[in-house]
Structures are given as C-alpha cells and as structure tokens.
Amino acid sequence: MMEDSGIRTYPWGHHRRFNAYSNFFRKLFGGRVQKISIDAGFTCPNRDGSLGTGGCSFCNNDAFSPSYCNAATSISEQIKKGMLFHSRRYRKSVAFLAYFQSYSNTYAELDELRLKYEEALRYPGIAGIIIGTRPDCISDDKMDYISSLSQKYYVAVEYGVESCYDRTLERINRGHDFACSVSAIEKTAAKGINTGAHFIFGLPGESREDMMKEAAIISDMPLTTVKFHQLQIIAGTRMEEEYKTRPEDFNLFTWDEYREFFIRFLEQLNPRIIVERFTGESNPGLIRDKGWGHLRSEEMIRLFENRLEELDTWQGRLYKGNKNLNKDNSE
C-alpha cells in the first residue's frame, strides 16, 4: 500500500478499499463497461432431467433476468435492446460485454456454442463475452475453444460454486460437489481464461463461522473475479417451501449484519481477487423473506465503502497467504 499526499493507493492500484470490478474494467477499456444479459436458450442438467428436474433449491432464473433478456428473440436482438435499455438509464459506456447469464451457457455441443458466442461477438460494440455456467458443464475441447476466443476478446467463464461445503451443496440439490468446482476453476484458469465464481452466504445449515472460513479457501483458488450475494428466498423455488416449513433452519442476514460480516470476510480475502459484487438484487416482487427494504445496489456499495473507511480497513488486510499480486489481475 502506498501513501501519496495523504491518499492511499492499495495493491490493486487505486484508492478504493477493495479490488473493485468497475475499476478493473475502467483500466482495461479506458472507461465504463456495461454488461448486456442474454438468454441464449440453453437449459441446465439440473432441470432437463440429466441430473434432475427440480433445479437447485434457491433457483428461479426469472428473479435475476432483465426484461430485455428473452430466449424467444435472437441474441443480436437481445443485445440491441439491452444496449438501448442501458443507454437510457446510465452514463455512457465505452464498451459492452455480452453476458450469457441464464441457465448453463456451456451446456450444449461445441458447434452450438460457437454459433451463439460468435453471433454476440460479431455485434458492433461488443468487446467480449462472459459465460455463466455450472462446473460440471465444461470439457477440455470447450475450454480450448473459449481460450482461443480470449486471444482476441475479453472472455470470462463464471462458475456457480455457491458453497465450499459438500453437505450444503447436497442440501440445496446442486448436483455436483465442491471438488468439481475446484477442478473446473483450476483447468479454466490454466488455459489463460478469466475465471469467475459465484457464492451465496446464508444457505441453510451453514453457520457464520463456516461462511467466514470460505475466505481462506476461495483465496487459494486461481480466480480472477468473485461474486457474492446474501441468500434471498425467491418465490416459486423449493427453498420457499423449505423456508415456510422449517424457518428455524434459516439464519438470514439483516443488512447491518451482512455489512459487518462481509467486511470481516473481505479483510481475509486475497487482494489479488477482483470483487464484482458482494450483494444480490432480485426482483423485489419475488422476494419472500423480509428483505432489506428499498436499499439499492449503489446505495449498499456507498454504505459499505463508508464503513470500510470508518474502520480504516480494506480487502486483504488480514490475508495470510501469498501477498504477491498476480500481475494480470492487479490494476
């Protein structure tokens, strides 16, 4: 950490107290980058019967998908609508990334993946793709192909890991174990592909201490980016039923609890890893727990950064591992 005229610069190269995703892209592209979500018509082995039909107990894809994202229209059409949607609401972006978000976006034959990814990459203004998927839906040939795309574009594969504990993964009906996630992440990163992971805090059966221990486990993984969110009980999911029948199994965070928890977590997290988000925002009409009122994402980030300042702490302050930043991920 360097201090110049009273302003600290952290190991990731800027003054924000965590290795923030938006700053990473600002450095990479020279300005604001906007993701455009796409539903490319894939399904998921945990829904189509290959592994199961019910899906993960927390999952209802409608809770996260923006209105322009609809598999009934082509990928190009979704990108066009997504760009329009964002240009009306936000500051000007210098680049767009197509985010293959809905379901498992590597769950198809390679030829189909090629068609879909390349349709997005051909669209004017699209600088890269982000591919959300399950760790059991990837193979060497798919990774080789994705790696070849990453020679020319920004490309990232983002795995739903959700928890480092097999007992939790079993309970939420995930259909794969933690070793499967570790293996997919290690192989993907070894191919030189930006590798992300998604985790949920507050899953039933996990204590706050269990969740805190995940900081050290995640820190050891060759991840470029991470996304975290608090468990929300979403309408129409199996978890909604579980929550109704066994509420005592759930220990959901209030906003104040979560903010304090995540600060302690962040202090132990490897400073090399870029934090894309630390809370989730679902369609408010679908949330079946008490929720956090009207707090929006931007407001949560502001309150969170104020609290880091108040406590004079930052990402990795208590990280015990290798303090050498991976040059590719530092800013």
Report in angstroms how near the CB of residue 75 gets to ligand SF4 at its nearest. 18
Name the CA dihedral angle for 201, 10, 222, 137, rounded to a multiple of 10 degrees. 50
CA-CA distance, 313 to 143, in Å (whole number)? 38
Report in angstroms how near the CB of residue 61 gets to ligand SF4 at its nearest. 6
Report in angstroms how near the CB of residue 11 gets to ligand SF4 at its nearest. 33
Select from 33, 40, 59, 263 the one that contacts ligand SF4 (CB under 6 A).
59
**How far is it between the farthest Cα atoms of the chain?**
60
CB nearer to ligand SF4: pick between 134 and 259? 134
Report in angstroms how near the CB of residue 60 gets to ligand SF4 at its nearest. 8
**Would you state the structure tokens that stand for residue 117, as one six-digit string?**
């990814």
Residue positions counted in the chain:
331
Q: Are 253 and 202 in contact (CB under 8 A)?
A: yes
Select from 20, 44, 143, 218 the one that contacts ligand SF4 (CB under 6 A).
44
Cβ atoms within 10 A of the Cβ of 330, count?
A: 17
The β-bridge partners of 100 are 38, 131
In 25-105, DSSP assigns E strands to 33-38, 95-100
- Report the SS3 class of residue 269: coil
**Would you state the structure tokens that stand for residue 328, as one six-digit string?**
């590719």
Q: Are 119 and 87 in contact (CB under 8 A)?
A: no
CA-CA distance, 141 to 125, in Å (whole number)? 28
Is residue 103 near ligand SF4 by the rule CB under 6 A? yes
CB nearer to ligand SF4: pick between 231 and 269? 231
Residues 293-312, interacting with ligand SF4 (CB under 6 A) = none
CB nearer to ligand SF4: pick between 46 and 195? 46
DSSP letters for 200-228 = EES-TT--HHHHHHHHHHHHTS--SEEEE
Select from 33, 56, 108, 169 the one that contacts ligand SF4 (CB under 6 A).
56
Q: Which stretch binds ligand SF4 (CB under 6 A): 55-63, 108-116, 142-150, 268-276?
A: 55-63
Is residue 134 near ligand SF4 by the rule CB under 6 A? yes
Report in angstroms how near the CB of residue 169 gets to ligand SF4 at its nearest. 11
CB nearer to ligand SF4: pick between 10 and 42? 42
Report in angstroms how near the CB of residue 172 gets to ligand SF4 at its nearest. 8
Burial of 117 (0-12, 13-18, 19+ CB in 10 A): buried
How many residues of this chain bind ligand SF4 (CB under 6 A)?
11
Half-sphere exposure of 194 (CA within 13 A, CB side): 25
Is residue 160 near ligand SF4 by the rule CB under 6 A? yes
Residue 61-80 contact track with ligand SF4, rule CB under 6 A, x = bound: x-------------------
CB nearer to ligand SF4: pick between 200 and 273? 200
Is residue 47 near ligand SF4 by the rule CB under 6 A? yes
CB nearer to ligand SF4: pick between 30 and 54? 54
Residues that bind ligand SF4 (CB under 6 A): 44, 46-47, 55-56, 59, 61, 103-104, 134, 160
